[in-house]
Amino acid sequence: MVKSQLLQEAQENTEEDDLGNPIDYFYFNTNASKGAGYCFSVAADSTDATQVWATTGDTYALGGMAISNGYAVFGNDYNHLYVVK
């Protein structure tokens, strides 16, 4: 896993599209003054990532993101809790 000062930790999840082709989803949050959470998807036969969703930039989000049962959860230094489905 590649880390930088802004990217704290990435999670990966693989699902299948309607045709049964695998799609990888990558979830991460950024540790910056306008830190946010992101989800990108990449088809198995592609190197191009597509942004699925992003939260509004708020503040530093140093902790990692938890992914379970279709939900992404993370918090930031303003004690804001984000739950994205």
pLDDT at 3: 43
**By the 8 A CB rule, do 35 and 59 touch?**
yes
- Give the angle subtended at the CA of 7 by the CAs of 80 and 9, to the nearest 5°: 80
pLDDT in tens, 13-66: 788 888 888 999 899 888 889 889 999 999 888 889 999 999 998 998 878 888
pLDDT at 8: 54
Q: Give the DSSP per-residue string, 4-55.
A: -SSEEEEEEEEEE-TTS-EEEEEEEEE-STT--EEEEEEETT----EEEEEP
Nearest to 41 by CA among 59, 29, 53, 58: 53
pLDDT higher at 44 or 84: 84
> Whole-model pTM?
0.78
**By the 8 A CB rule, do 77 and 61 touch?**
yes
pLDDT at 65: 87
